[in-house]
Structure 1
Amino acid sequence: MSDDRTQPPYVASAAVAAPPPLPPGTPTPARDRTGLAIGLMCLVSLIFAFQDVFSRLLGGDYPPVLIVMIRYWVFAGFVIVLVARQPGGLRRAIRTRRPLTQIARGVILALEVLLMVEAFVRLGLIETHAVFAVYPLLVAALSGPVLGEHVGWRRWTAIAIGFCGIIVILDPGAGVASVTALLPLGAALLFALYGLLTRHVSRDDPSMVSFFWTGIAGAVAITLVGIWDWQWLAPRDWVWMGLLCICGMTSHYLMIRSYELAEASALQPFAYTQLVWVSILGVWLFDERLRGNVVIGCAIVVGAGLFTLWRQRRRSS
């Protein structure tokens, strides 16, 4: 949670919403089915929001690294089954021209998911996503030093305005301005770096290879850390975990389908609908408060992010 050449195609929520975003390079058919793709993207955003709810529920009773580890085990199995059905199968997916970068992508994304789950528990869904929404601006800002792309003054202005929105959200002295607020900000930075590295490896590796390495490398990395916190979940909590994993596989399958039907640049703005869903669910299920400064700051950040998308799409056309 993915490209639009400005940010990764999945919204992660990551966020976390998701483990590994869909790698770029999915061909778009000649027939225009953008409307259906947009509908799928909105549905995916809703499923991502429920994933975050299950992550917060479980993360409040168990170590977040345990929850993320189990999710990645299931996701790795999903990746293996999906890739095995593609031309060349697993043998082709393993072959990469950039193994170290592919491994780094998987590790970075696993760490991003872990930070997001921790942030859900400490900050809540609303304020976590409000801060995390800055990640497209971080992608734009880092595309110069990481990929050598030119970032013009208009996008730099949008980036600066977006970070002003983050300051409004944090509301120094009264809001979430604390060390804890660094969790979603750090997750946004990692997700941006993941997206840029995804674009980097896409120059040499097909999407199937990137997808495979993202899931497998992430699962191995999180297991090395999380296995030491292993404990059995209560029977009721296995139900939540099952729903979390089902949502994860369903959302990623639908995400893949949406990017087969339309370009990422057309779909990415609709990924922001997840902010609406997490706000509703946060207030309804967890009694979170939708503070005025969070709404205003989030609107500033999203507006700046949409502007960077528009500028990038215009430059690419």
Structure 2
Amino acid sequence: MTRQNTRLGILLMIATTFIFAMQDGLSRHLVEEYNVFMVVMIRFWFFALFVVALTARQPGGLHAALRPRYPVLQWLRGIVVVTEVGVVVMGFVLLGLIETHSIFTCYPLLVAALSGPILGERVGWRRWTAIAIGFAGVLIILQPGMRVFSPAAIFPLLAALLFALYGLLTRYVARGDSAQVSFFWTGVSGAITATVIGMWFWEPMAPRDWGWMAVLCCSAVLGHWLLIRAYEVAEASAVQPFSFLQLVFIAILGTTVFGETIAPNVAIGALVVVGAGLFTLLRTRKLQSRRG
């Protein structure tokens, strides 16, 4: 059993959020030049190779991973996460990194809201209040009737809903499948789904951009490996709040590299959403500790 080290887990989570932010910047750059389906497909090819190699080294290896208790739901998880990645990357191009991530950050609130009907969990009035406040923050960002509240805003909203669904499906299959089995199926079913769609949209890529594509793939692998390590050395409830730092790194990247600006309503709305999300996570942790 891995020794628990909360400080190391927090540092690993911060490193993970930084790498994922850089990964999103690379995705935006590539999708501005090439088809999103092809970029996502190549990204998942490398991710699938990583999870297969990682799973092969675990107890039970590939034999255990290929016999999940929930095969249909595992396939569905892969389909959902590939769709989510494609949708959110399109949001980066249409709305920018900062506005897309500010809206996407509401996904923990969607997880909390949907955990009742999907997982049968009880959501108390405090978390429902936090959820309502969080979505008020989303409305502050969107400014109904203003520029951001446009057809393009559906991309980060849909991505947040898909990522929340992916998280809930992951929690559901955890009742019968190990985390390693689920991780394996995320990569493999995701790569197969991405290939079925992306192979029809192949286009030549410049040598320089193949280099950026390689960096994107390596960053995806490194980010997921660090995330796994963070959850191995510390409790998820202790490190999860630090995932919101990705929004900070995105803001720095968006303003310095892509010339984006942070509108006051986006900053205020993002703070409201993050605050509501943190409260929801802490409240969930408190309830879990009582049950434990």
Shorter-normalised TM range: over 0.9
Q: Displacement of 1:208 after TM fit?
A: 1.6
The superposition leaves residues 27-72 of structure 1 with CA deviations (integer Å, 9 ceiling, x where unpaired) of: 6x4x441001101111111111110110000000111111000000
C-alpha distance in structure 2 between counterparts of 1:178 and 1:150, whole Å: 34
Q: Tell me the residue number matched to 1:134.
A: 106
Please give the root-mean-square deviation of Cα atoms over the aligned residues, in Å: 0.9
Q: Which residue of 2 aligns with 1:186?
A: 158
Which of 165, 186, 201 is residue 173 of structure 2 equivalent to? 201
- More helix per residue: 1 or 2? 2
SS where residue 286 of structure 1 aligns?
coil
The letter of the residue matching 2:174 is S
In 2, Cα distance between the equivalents of 1:263 and 1:32? 8
Amino acid paired to 2:279:
F
Q: Deviations over 1:204-257 (max 9, x none)?
A: 111121111111111111111111001121111001101101111111111111
Q: 1:21: which partner in 2?
A: none
What is the SS of the residue equivalent to 2:175?
A: coil
TM-score by length of 1: 0.90
State how many pairs are aligned. 289
Distance, in Å, in 1 between the alignment partners of 2:106 and 2:188 is: 27
1:164 maps to what in 2? 136
User: What is the TM-score when the length of structure 2 is the normalising length?
Assistant: 0.97
Match of residue 50, structure 2, among 70, 75, 78: 78
- Please tell me whether residue 296 in structure 1 is matched to residue 268 in structure 2: yes
- Which residue is equivalent to 1:213? 185
Deviation at 1:89, TM superposition (A): 1.1
Q: Paired residue for 2:118?
A: 146
How much has 1:97 moved relative to structure 2?
1.2
Q: Is the 8 A contact 1:119 1:128 kept in 2?
A: yes
Runs of 5+ consecutive residues of structure 1 not aligned to the other structure = 1-26
Match of 2:61 among 79, 83, 89: 89
Q: CA deviation at 1:88?
A: 1.3
Query: 1:224 corresponds to which letter in structure 2?
Result: V
Residue 267 of structure 1 aligns with an amino acid whose one-letter code is V
CA-to-aligned-CA distance 1:93-132 (integer Å, 9 cap, x gap): 1111111010000100000000011111111100000000
Q: Which residue is equivalent to 1:177? A: 149
SS at match of 1:215: helix
Quote the residue 2:25 is aligned against. Answer: 53
Distance 1:164 1:262 in 2: 32
Residue 87 of structure 1 deviates from its aligned partner by: 1.1
The alignment status of 1:101 with 2:95, answered yes or no, reads no
Report if the CA contact (8 A) 1:170-1:176 is conserved: yes
Deviations 1:255-309 (A, max 9, x none): 1111110011111110111100110110111110111100000000000001111
Distance apart, 1:175 and its partner CA: 3.3
Report runs of 4+ in structure 1 exceeding 3 Å deviation.
Answer: none
Alpha-carbon distance between aligned partners in 1 of 2:218 and 2:81, rounded to the nearest angstrom? 20
Range moving further from structure 2, 228-237 or 125-134: 228-237
2: distance between equivalents of 1:208 and 1:286? 36
Contact 1:169-1:175 at 8 Å conserved across structures: no
State the structure with bigger RCO (CA 8 A, min sep 6), 1 or 2.
2
Give, as a single letter, the amino acid of the residue that structure 2 aligns with 1:289. T
The residue number in structure 1 matching 2:39 is: 67
Aligned mates of 1:140, 1:109 — CA distance in 2 = 18
User: Which residue is equivalent to 1:22?
Assistant: none
Give the drift of 1:197. Answer: 0.6
Counterpart secondary structure, 1:102:
helix
